[in-house]
Amino acid sequence: MADAAEPHRSGGAAGANIVLLGPPGAGKGTQAVVLASRLGVPAISTGDMLREAVAQGNPLGRKVQGIMASGALVDDGTMAEVVRERLRHDDARHGFLLDGYPRTLPQAETLSGVLTSAAKKLDAVLLVEVPVDELVRRSLLRGRADDAEDVVRERQRVYREKTEPLIGYYERLGLLRRIDGNRAIDEVTGQMLAALGASA
Ligand code: AMP
């Protein structure tokens, strides 16, 4: 079973420009790290990048701190700069796993433009699906600074309003792969590898 799903680390194989999509608490961050190392591409988490900026207290961090704490989204223009710059790094040359971007339709258009101008394209969008009660439970367990219950609920609301439309968008492009995220971590990874193998 592993054979077809096991991509090769070297050689910059096609099929390694991937987006992880799914609600807050679905386990995207965990899967991104595991899957990226299996694929030999960097896991790029915009949430981690912003948290790092906040920790450093740099201009980006000062701009986004309050927004993140409230559960709202950082504006698309700021995020475009962050992602455009990050995808330019050498480690993303042969692929990347984006976790937490895009989160709005304009962001999806930005990503498409960035990739097109670099003669690249997206290969797959993995949608991690988890029932909503389980999402809230997981987020509260995690205990991050922006994980107070009202903020958790706000993040879910923002996801439904701003990010869910991306499901149809990527479905129409034929890129969407649905993953059952309500399973053990390694089973979820297995589904993802199989989905990528099938699409390669
Ligand atoms: P995450 O770790 O992906 O849940 O992101 C944490 C927070 O960072 C989000 O609640 C947003 O405030 C902000 N953020 C991360 N990625 C994005 C994005 N693509 N667009 C807007 N805001 C983002």
Instruction: Give pLDDT tens digits for 2-19.
Output: 444 444 444 334 459 999
Interval between CA 182 and ligand 1 midpoint (Å): 22
Interval between CA 174 and ligand 1 midpoint (Å): 25
Interval between CA 164 and ligand 1 midpoint (Å): 14
11-45 confidence digits (pLDDT tens): 334 459 999 999 998 999 999 999 999 999 999 99
β partners of residue 17: 96
Exposure on the CB side of residue 65, measured as CA atoms within 13 A: 12
**CB distance 113 to 120 below 8 Å:** no
Substitution candidate for ligand 1 out of 50, 51, 60, 146 with most atoms within 8 A of CB:
50
Name the closest-CA residue to atom 11, ligand 1. 73
Interval between CA 131 and ligand 1 midpoint (Å): 20
Interval between CA 23 and ligand 1 midpoint (Å): 11
The pTM score is 0.90
125-141 confidence digits (pLDDT tens): 999 999 988 887 887 78
Q: Would you give the distance in Å from CA 163 to the centre of its chain? A: 11
Map tokens 């969008």 to a residue: 125
**CB distance 46 to 82 below 8 Å:** yes
CA-64 nearest atom, ligand 1: 12
Ligand 1 first shell, C-beta below 6 A: 24, 46-47, 50, 67-68, 71-74, 79, 100-101, 103, 107, 155
- Determine whether 184 is exposed, middle or buried from the number of CB atoms within 10 Å of its CB (0-12, 13-18, 19+): exposed
- Determine whether 2 is exposed, middle or buried from the number of CB atoms within 10 Å of its CB (0-12, 13-18, 19+): exposed
